[in-house]
Structure 1
Amino acid sequence: MGQSPSQTRPRRTHEQLTQELAYRFKEKCFTSIEYYSLKDVFKSLADQQGDIRYLKEDTIARFLEIPDILGASPVIFHMVSYLGAFPFLHEAPVVLELAQLIMVVVIMTERYKRVLAKSTDRTKLLFKSLAVYDRKVTVAESTPQSATSENAAAKPNAQFKGFAVDQPGLDDEHEDDQEDDDDLVITAFELLDIHEAAKRGDVSSIHEAIIPTDNFRKLIMLLLLVAPLDPQESLSQYSSRVAGNELDQLRATAECVLASFVNVETSPGIGYTRFKTVVPALFPNLFAGFNGLFEHFLFSKDLDFSKHKIEKPGDAAHVSKTAQPLLPTPGDILNEHTLSQLSLFLPGSSLFRRVRLLYSGNDAGFSMGSLESKIFYWRAPTILLVSGTRLADIPDGGQEASFAASLPTKRSPHGSKSERVTFGVYLREPWKHTHKECFGDSETVLFQLEPIHDVFTASTVNTDYVAFTKPPGNRPCLSFGCPHPKPTQAHRREGLHALGAVSLLFDESFEFGVFNHDYKSRGGAFHTSIVRKFDFQDRFRIDNLEVWGCGGDDEAKEQAERWAWAEEAAEARRRVNLGTADIAADRALLEMAGLVGGNRSGGSMG
């Protein structure tokens, strides 16, 4: 007697804590219908062993409609088996029961932000879900990657050994911070009020981990495929993108993306330092496609409310339709795969089913005049793309020699071994003539798509973003990141183009182009590369040049109206009658129009 009951909180098991966190996610991250759908989908897909109901790799792959040809199913299952252990990641891989599936869905769709508000970045967690720690090459050569995932599914209690790869000397750089728990895990522990001593597990250091190159290649192909996917869209509707020549193009696009992360010829995989540096800078939307893909778990096929929503015949607002093409008509450069590549760093809402070809050099002609006639008065963002064949160091022929002579004498090595290059510019502001200064804003983006994906964001120190100049006031020029071609500059009098530290310039006939990257120089209009920290210069013959408008029918209608107005104004000017024999009156009219007077001449009027 006299003893008070203990105030010590009973120690909760990891299973109880997982159930508690799953309940909080369920309450905050799903509507009642979404959670009902999730349970219904799980029930319909799950296998059973004893009292355990769980999902297997082939079941998940079949439900999400991941194409077998990509070979990405084992990679995805590796990821979800790890994420399902959240927040006790040292227990991964786990059997995917309902609670574990909840963890996977809220992380893959970023709905966790509704509960773990302090943490918004899942980059480290996704890296860990893809990474491996085994250093034995012999094991890698003798253990098929898919076998491990299959064994984990067949034996729910089996220990997962991971994908075996060699990993010494993986990364040139190391983190000063040796903390392996990421912010998401720490925030989850704080939410569950877990004591520090209880949350540490036997987890290998993140600096001993890599993502195997081949695994990441397969994942990139899948991410490019699912980039435009909406939650209720079927991935099978894009099956044409993984067959024949389309599949080859998808692979080629994935290789350009992969080249930003790793040198496939010398490294077995991607280390964390490289991963966390490259993803936010070059691919901020890399994993956005997971949102739509994994939200499929929240839509049960057994719940069809369409018949209750249609009130009259012909009302098809809620009836599924055949997917509209991502591009009305593919261009010479831009195809569906390239569009997905652009969506990795540009907003996908402005790209998929929202772009139209405004200008193609192969159709309208390679000249500044034809470019102007097609893209001026477009009042929405535009994307310029140029592809070409790299020129040799020694010019071949008079035209190449003339172009080489118009550039500064400083030469840097090429940016890659590839003979093919593709560059581009994303521009929010409408195009216009730059009589005295460049145009563009801090959202202007200069980028490279082939053979390596690279992004050069705008600087705010230097605003020489875009120059579009024509005679008589200036020399013809279309450049990005170059100083404005003012005729008072000495190098202009010498007939030389001025190149910016990071810049793209075309000659006036759109026959040749040059991309310049002076890494040592600072103060350019665009920031230098984070993956190629050296000077390089790619001079190339232009094969294709396109400008795409980001916008819909309203933007196209406005452009047509503006062009019609401009044509009417031009026609009115052509109809001005100057042949009245009153030379003084005619000259006065021309002076008011700014066509004669000062240093200009109106020509013979006699």
Structure 2
Amino acid sequence: MGQTHSDERRAPPSREEVAKELANKFAEKCFTSLELYSFKEVFKSLADQEQNVRHLKEDTIARFLEIPDVLGVSPVVFQMVSYIGAFPFLRDAPAVLGLEEMVMVITIMTDRYQRVLAKGATDRRKLLFKSLTVYDRKLPEPANNDKTPITDDSGAPAASSHASGFAVDAAGDDENELGCEDEDELVLAAFDSLDYVDVYRHGGGSPADRAMIPADNFRKLVMLLLLAAPLGAQESLSSYSNRVVDEELEQLGVVADCIVASFLDVERSLGIRFHRFNAIIPVAMPFIFGGFTPLFEHFLFSKTLNFHKHIDDKPAASTLPPELVQPLLRDKGSILNLSIMSQLSFFIPGESLFRKLRLLYSGNEDGFSMGGFETKVFNWRAPTILLVHGTCLPDETQHKTTGAESAFLSTLPPRRFASGNRGKGEEVTFGVYLSQPWRHTHRECFGESDTLLFQLQPIHDVFHASTANKDYASFTKSSASTPIGGVSFGCPPPQPTQAYRRSSTISLGPVSLVMDSSFEFGCFTHNYTSRGGGAFQGSTCRKFDFQDRFEISSLEVWGCGGDEEAKHQAERWAWEAREAEARRRINLGTGDIEADRALLEMAGLIGGNRSGGSMM
């Protein structure tokens, strides 16, 4: 299918010929023969015909993919695929979605194009951005009746603010404003694969600042992506219909708002600019578009074809009744729900989350104590996710603090940054992903370079581990030598001191999360002006200093793993229970049981803070 070379001069192929040749190459290299046959059957059964042209309409695609009407996202998805269907000649968008155009759509939306266009693998993000964009001149002017200063998404003064109710408009494909399509690496790679790069390359540009994704459109798309995140091969969105009603639908919306807040302040910004989109997604949500793959692969499986089915075959997992399908989340937590689990899958691979998480510890059920935390969590030998939820404390000068709150605040450095949230009393959710098992901290913290510190509410943000130091995680119980105990992330470990040199202040890292030993209060610090030096990198969406001090209402730890990890944990618990019982029954032969127990306690074998034994 490649271009033949000859000394004879010949006219360059037409755009239609190039697009057809690329579609054929995609179909040959990216689909199996069975997938291609199935795709043609599916397209034939769905397509409408007008003036001898067979094509797919918006409602047809939405109905086939089973996109819920309540999300209102079908026009947004159709805008995207109509733009991508014009690939590689994006100035011709929106495209009529014929057979060849849908080959382009499926190949790009499922990431299969990398089998042919390896050079353009990193440029798909720009293509998706363009497929969602509109322009300032097409958006209504916002009102600013209170005459307050308005800033854009980076905090700089802006000329206008957000106006709700953006209408879906044509994709942003204006050559003079968004740049020629042939400046994209992905498009150049497509031309290069056909040996046409010299014919169609005319120079390039960069996306213009005027192109943006309307916040309302992006919110609808995020809700769809949250719903599609756990999709497996050939699994349909309709199997999750219970997630788009009542409280579940409300939870989807709340999480979507937190994610949109990463890109802009919807009350002060018109839409999402490319520089924000391109900077935030690879850091804070690299897997956000992962749900597109199983969703659009539905076009490659015809329901009328099954060459392997026998009369006595049992139903596949995807065809089992809903009550027999393993639930996405088997345990019920006070923080984690299906929508937040989908949010986690935007930056933690979904295969570690869906149908894999087990609730190890819940403060509401097991007590807010480090002893209960240790008992439930320390025996888990696989990665864990800690989630803490609370309410921001107001400035201590504006309300009367309680004794416990005053005691906690006194352990923090006197210098305090402004809150990173919008209002007083706002709820916040932070979390940490740890691949190493939990342990007590002595002189060094624990954790690996894949440790993640993140915020889920009211804004989605992820802070990756730094190489500056390894103060990733600390678990320290209070003692005579270390009076300030607790759990911290990104802070130097508490160092034992002599009684007369006791430190009364926590040493906060530039980007850090700390919780006191009673799990009553927490503090998240983001010292952006420090410019590094800590265990975690700064935010990509909030480039300023802030600190959130909050009262903890919920704390839970979830184990990532399967039956093997759970079995190992149960065996450890059983062993410790037997050891504890054996020590309880020890009789030293003095005839005085109480005296015997006192002697064992003096030896440190029972009582105190010991859990009942150790295998070490």
Task: Name the structure 1 match of 2:233.
Answer: 231
Aligned 1:196-595 pairs, distance under 5 A = 196-200=198-202, 205-305=207-307, 307-308=309-310, 312=312, 315-317=314-316, 320-321=319-320, 322=322, 323-394=325-396, 395-418=400-423, 419-472=426-479, 474-475=482-483, 476-488=485-497, 493-521=502-530, 522-578=532-588, 580=590
Q: Distance in 1 between matches of 2:318 and 2:394?
A: 56
State the 1:181 CA deviation. Answer: 2.1
TM-score of the pair, normalised by structure 1: 0.87
State the 1:571 CA deviation. Answer: 3.0
CA contact (8 A) 2:166 2:214 kept: no
Q: Distance in 2 between matches of 1:491 and 1:126?
A: 61
RMSD (CA atoms)? 3.1
Amino acid aligned to 2:43: F
CA contact (8 A) 2:377 2:438 kept: yes
CA contact (8 A) 2:389 2:552 kept: yes
Matched, 1:113 2:114: yes
CA deviations 1:417-438 (Å, max 9, x no partner) are 1411000000111111112211
CA deviations 1:261-319 (Å, max 9, x no partner) are 111111111111111000101010010010111001011111134533x6x46x44577
For residue 331 of structure 2, give the secondary structure of its aligned residue in structure 1.
coil
Q: 1:446 to 1:318 in 2, by over 3 A?
A: closer
State the 1:133 CA deviation. Answer: 3.1
CA contact (8 A) 1:231 1:292 kept: yes
State the 1:527 CA deviation. Answer: 0.8
Q: 1:203 to 1:495 in 2, by over 3 A?
A: closer
TM-score of the pair, normalised by structure 2: 0.86
For residue 548 of structure 1, give the secondary structure of its aligned residue in structure 2.
strand
Q: Distance in 2 between matches of 1:403 and 1:319?
A: 51
Task: Name the structure 1 match of 2:611.
Answer: none
Q: Distance in 2 between matches of 1:455 and 1:11?
A: 48
Q: 1:457 to 1:205 in 2, by over 3 A?
A: closer
State the 1:564 CA deviation. Answer: 1.3
Percent identity over paired residues: 59
State the 1:407 CA deviation. Answer: 1.2
Q: Distance in 1 between matches of 2:474 and 2:166?
A: 54
Q: Return structure 1 stretches of 4+ with deviation > 6 angstroms.
A: 139-144, 177-180, 201-204, 489-492, 589-596
For residue 528 of structure 1, give the secondary structure of its aligned residue in structure 2.
coil
Q: Distance in 2 between matches of 1:489 and 1:26?
A: 72
Q: Distance in 1 between matches of 2:203 and 2:165?
A: 27
CA contact (8 A) 2:83 2:171 kept: no
CA contact (8 A) 1:447 1:454 kept: yes
For residue 400 of structure 1, give the secondary structure of its aligned residue in structure 2.
helix
Q: 1:369 to 1:202 in 2, by over 3 A?
A: closer
CA contact (8 A) 2:48 2:57 kept: yes
State the 1:333 CA deviation. Answer: 0.5
State the 1:324 CA deviation. Answer: 2.8
State the 1:196 CA deviation. Answer: 3.4
Unaligned runs of 5+ residues in structure 2 are 1-5, 143-162, 607-616
CA deviations 1:306-349 (Å, max 9, x no partner) are 533x6x46x44577223432111331100000000000000100
Task: Name the structure 1 match of 2:33.
Answer: 32
Aligned 1:43-62 pairs, distance under 5 A = 43-62=44-63
Q: Distance in 2 between matches of 1:11 and 1:490?
A: 85
Amino acid aligned to 2:53: I
Amino acid aligned to 1:46: A
CA contact (8 A) 1:482 1:503 kept: yes
CA deviations 1:93-136 (Å, max 9, x no partner) are 11000000000000000000111122212111111111123514
Q: Distance in 2 between matches of 1:571 and 1:492?
A: 40
Amino acid aligned to 1:251: G
Unaligned runs of 5+ residues in structure 1 are 149-160, 169-174, 597-606
CA contact (8 A) 2:387 2:429 kept: yes
Q: Distance in 2 between matches of 1:289 and 1:538?
A: 33
State the 1:492 CA deviation. Answer: 7.3
CA contact (8 A) 1:78 1:130 kept: yes
Q: 1:143 to 1:204 in 2, by over 3 A?
A: farther
Query: After the TM superposition, which of the residue ranges 443-452 and 411-420 deviates more from structure 2?
Result: 411-420
Aligned 1:121-200 pairs, distance under 5 A = 121=122, 122-133=124-135, 135-137=137-139, 145=167, 161-162=170-171, 181-200=183-202
CA deviations 1:534-553 (Å, max 9, x no partner) are 11111111001010111111
CA contact (8 A) 1:180 1:205 kept: no
Task: Name the structure 1 match of 2:83.
Answer: 82
Q: 1:200 to 1:42 in 2, by over 3 A?
A: farther
CA contact (8 A) 1:90 1:202 kept: no
Q: Distance in 1 between matches of 2:505 and 2:164?
A: 60
State the 1:590 CA deviation. Answer: 6.9
CA contact (8 A) 1:90 1:201 kept: no
Task: Name the structure 1 match of 2:145.
Answer: none
Amino acid aligned to 1:441: E
Matched, 1:95 2:96: yes
Number of equivalent positions: 566
Amino acid aligned to 1:407: L
Matched, 1:17 2:4: no
